Amino acid sequence: MKPLIETEIIHFLKQNVEPIPDSNFGLGFRASVTLTDGTFLPCVIFRNSEKTLDLAIRRFKEEQSNKSIFSNKSKGFGYREIVKNFVTKGNCINIYDITNVTKSRFEMPLEFYKKVEGETAMSWTVFVAEFADGRKLSFGTRWNWQFFDLPEGFNFSEIKNIISGCYLSKENEIVPHKSLLDFQKDMEKLQTINREKPFFECYIDNL
C-alpha cells in the first residue's frame, strides 16, 4: 500500500479530529491508522514533536546539573534513567508507514472528560456514562485518558451525562465508590468496567 503524504494526514486531522491539550506534550490528535502492510491500529495520537523535545532536553539538563528533585536519591543514575525513559518507553510509529487515517471510535469527546470530577481514589478514576437511549456503561482508568474501550453498538457522541465516582451493578444500579477495598470485595456484583486502551504516538513536525 502507498503511504500517505504528510500534508494529507495533517489536513485530515485538522478537519476531522478534536485536539486534546496536554501541558507536557502539547496538543494531541486522536485517530485510527492503517499501516502499509495492512496492520490496523485503532488508537494513535498525533503530535508535533517540539514540546516533547523541549521536555526531554530540559530534563536531561536538570539531571546533568544535579538540579532535579531526584538528584539526591539517584546517586548519579538519574541521568541514565531519564534518557532511558525518553528513548525506550512508549509506543511510536513512523509517519511514512501510514497509508490511511480515520476517526477512532475509542476517543471520548473532550466535553465529557471535563465532567469527570478528578480521581476517585489514588491512581484510580471511575465514572458511569449515560447514553441518549437510556443505556449506561461503567468506565475506569488508572492513568491514561486518551482512549477507552467501547462495546459494539455504542457511540461516545451519544453520551448525555457523566456520573463521577460510581460503578454499575449487575442490576444496572448506580453504586458510589467507597474504598478500593470495598471495590475489590464487590467486583463480582458489578458490571464490566470499560478500561483505558493502550495507544501509539506519531510525531509530525508541521502539525
> Could you read off the pLDDT of 29-58 as tens digits, one per residue?
999 999 999 999 999 999 999 998 888 888
Greater confidence (24 vs 151) lies with 151
Q: Which of 115-119, 130-134, 200-204 has the lowest mean pLDDT?
A: 115-119
Number of H helices, E strands in the chain: 6, 10
Residue owning grid cell 443505556:
135
Residue 184: what pLDDT?
A: 85
**Residues of the chain with pLDDT > 70: what percent?**
94
Rg (C-alpha) for the chain, rounded Å, is 20
| pLDDT, mean over the chain | 90
Can you give the pLDDT at residue 81? 78
Q: Which residues of 120-141 are buried (b: 16+ CB within 10 A; e: fewer)?
A: beeeebbbbbbbeeeebbbbbb
The model's pLDDT over 153-183, given as tens digits with 9 standing for 90+, comes to: 999 999 999 999 999 999 999 999 998 888 8
175 in Cβ contact with 130 (< 8 Å): no
What are the cell numbers at 79? 541521568
Cβ within 8 Å of residue 152, ≥6 positions away: none
What pLDDT does 76 receive? 53
Q: Flag whether the pTM goes above 0.95.
A: no
